[in-house]
Amino acid sequence: MNFIISEAWAEAPAAAAGASAQGSPYMTLIMLGVLFAAFYFILIRPQAKRAKEHKAMIAALAKGDEVVTAGGVLGRVSNLGEAYVTVDIADGVEVKVQRQAVQTVLPKGTIKSV
């Protein structure tokens, strides 16, 4: 019946084997540094760059710009406020959204029907 359950064998103590169980503490610090650098260059830096570009785009909004909101609504900016933007999405239909909800500024002439 031993073919289903394998037998467990005890391992020799580390002192008797003659090998150290721990590595160099400097190697641990180096690996932590490499891990932090990888996170910085892969995650933190690109996200900060995107946030800076979005903030500059929001600050540069002007009346008549064609935009896409975070909800996917396309329209032309008809009025600017301190915290809100009024977007004309159809003839006689205006939507007030937060400035931060403007996701993209489109090139002029992209929206034909508004």
CB 96 within 8 A of CB 86: yes
Q: Which CATH architecture has domain 63-114?
A: Roll (2.30)
Residue 73 pairs in a beta bridge with none
- The structure tokens listed for 11 are 């391992």
Q: Where are the domains of the chain?
A: 23-60, 63-114
pLDDT band at 114; cut points 50, 70, 90: very low
HSE-up (13 A, CA, CB side) for residue 7: 5
Q: Is 113 exposed, middle or buried (0-12, 13-18, 19+ CB in 10 A)?
A: exposed
Q: What is the pLDDT of residue 110?
A: 87
Q: What is the pLDDT of residues 56-96, one digit of tens each?
A: 999 999 999 999 999 999 999 999 999 999 999 999 999 99
CA 78 to chain centre: 30
